[in-house]
Structure formats: C-alpha cells, structure tokens
Structure 1
C-alpha cells in the first residue's frame, strides 16, 4: 500500500469547495476522472455518514475494479471540519484481493491569494493500483471540482 498527495488551487472560497465535497449532486459531477461518469448510490454528507459511489468507464474496453467497466466504492465520513477538512474512509467493492483494503482520503482546504488550495492525500492505496493512475485520476477530479466551484454552481 502507498500514499499520494495532489494539490490544486481554485478561484473560489473554502466554503464553496467544502459544500461541493459533501453534496451528492456535486460529487456526481466532479468525482469522475475524464473518460468516466459517476453514479452516487447513497450519500449522507455528515460526520459518520455513509456513501456508496460507482465510477463507470465510458469506453467499452474499460476494465473496472468491481467488475465490468465499474469501480464501486463505499465508506463513511470519518472527520469533518467545516470549510477546512474532509476525511473519508473508503474501500473498493471487489472480488480481487489485490484491490482490497481500507483507504483514507483526506482533503484539506486552506486560503490562498484569490481562492483556496485543495490538498488531497490518499493513504492505503492498494499496490495493484498504479501510482500514476491514482495521481492522474485525482488531478482530473480536482480539475472537475475547480470548474464546478469556479463556475459558482
């Protein structure tokens, strides 16, 4: 298992970014990297609240961790600090033992000139997930999040 750390600056206040992290419709919009779509099955954006999300490859050749073209994960919000931090504990739904294990995603928000810096740290990522894929997918998701909050939706 390994960890990654990706950051992105956005031209939006921390409060707007924080809301987008905890809103099911927003998550369905920003969480999926390019070439994928997201389906939010369950989502309770409170501390201790549970969620279940599927990321679906759009290309018929995409291979998902959960089977078919789908990566499904579930988890809960371990810690919420309003407008500052979201800690999610997640696990892939998969029969593949190399993809199993609990991961922690910590998203920290801080003020920067003209907006917010978002730092997303993934801890406990299964070794079977290529580091480059995790980093690229996270960057794409954060780009989507930036577009969402900078457009004011």
Structure 2
C-alpha cells in the first residue's frame, strides 16, 4: 500500500520569490537538503519535461545510513508539470539496491498566496516503504524551514 506524506509552512514573503526558490538551482541546493545533510546538483534542467540529479550527503552517516551509499542519497528527478508561480510536480526515483527504496515517488510543491505571505505545501505520494514516516516528516519540515530562512527578511 502506498503512503502519502504532507507538510506545509507559511513563509513571510511573496509567492514570486518562493516560486523562484523552488525552481532555481542555486536556491534548491541551499534549502532542500534537510538538517544534517549537504546537497549537490549534478545536472539541472528546470522545465516541464526536464530533470535534475540531486546528491544528498549525510554529515554523520552513523545515525542515518544512506539509500544509495553509506553516506548519500542520490535521486533522479523528472519535472512532469510546471505551472509558473503556482506548482511544480516531480517524479523522484532513488538510486538504491534496496527494494524498500525503489519505485517512483511523486512530489508536488504548491505555492499559495495569503495575506501574511505564502504557504508552501508539499505532498509526497507513493513514498517508498523504506522511508519511515517520522523521518520523512522531519526531513520535509526541515527543508521548508530552510526555505523560510533563505527567503524571509
């Protein structure tokens, strides 16, 4: 049975700045890695039909062994929908020998303007069984907090 995880955060800035951070290589590399990880984009083509390859490296792999190697998670990300200023839908595949991390996860990032700023909502569908719900929730929340720290005045 597939699982869906969700997270959202109010960011006190306009939706254009938020959407730009969701679609810029430099910004993504800065905010997407959750706490305890560093990120590197090996390839980046942000357009509908485009893709990127992201390598996340654990600062301390002893507590969280990687999915792709002892200290890293490598993902191939395809952009299936790009609605400028509103939404990015991605298909994400982990490079892993472990069947628990295989399969395609869909990530949908929505930008919703509100009076106080912008709500960013992420919905992860078909989350691989090997990703524990509490770990995924912590990672998504951490990434959103990084995004807020990058953008808020």
TM-score interval for Structure 1 and Structure 2 normalised by the shorter chain: over 0.9
- Which residue of structure 2 lines up, in the alignment, with residue 56 of structure 1? 57
Distance 1:12 1:45 in 2: 22
- Which residue of structure 2 lines up, in the alignment, with residue 137 of structure 1? 139
Aligned counterpart for 1:123 among listed residues 122, 125, 128: 125
Distance 1:67 1:60 in 2: 10
Per the alignment, in what secondary structure is the counterpart of residue 147 of structure 1? helix
- Which residue of structure 2 lines up, in the alignment, with residue 112 of structure 1? 114
- Which residue of structure 1 lines up, in the alignment, with residue 74 of structure 2? 72
Q: 1:15 to 1:35 in 2, by over 3 A?
A: same
Q: Deviations over 1:18-48 (max 9, x none)?
A: 1111111111100111111101111111111
Distance 2:16 2:137 in 1: 25
Question: Any unmatched runs of 5+ in structure 2?
Answer: none
- Which residue of structure 2 lines up, in the alignment, with residue 36 of structure 1? 37
- Which residue of structure 2 lines up, in the alignment, with residue 148 of structure 1? 150
Q: CA deviation at 1:60?
A: 4.4
TM-score, structure 2 as length reference: 0.95
Distance 2:98 2:127 in 1: 14
Q: Deviations over 1:43-97 (max 9, x none)?
A: 1111111100011100141410001200010021110111110101110011111
- Which residue of structure 1 lines up, in the alignment, with residue 90 of structure 2? 88
Question: Any unmatched runs of 5+ in structure 1?
Answer: none
Q: Does 1:26 align with 2:27?
A: yes
Consecutive aligned runs of 4 or more in structure 1 exceeding 4 Å deviation: none
Contact 2:61 2:70 in 1 (8 A): no
Distance 1:13 1:81 in 2: 17
Mean CA deviation greater in 130-139 or 56-65: 56-65
Distance 2:7 2:58 in 1: 22
TM-score, structure 1 as length reference: 0.95
Distance 1:68 1:53 in 2: 16
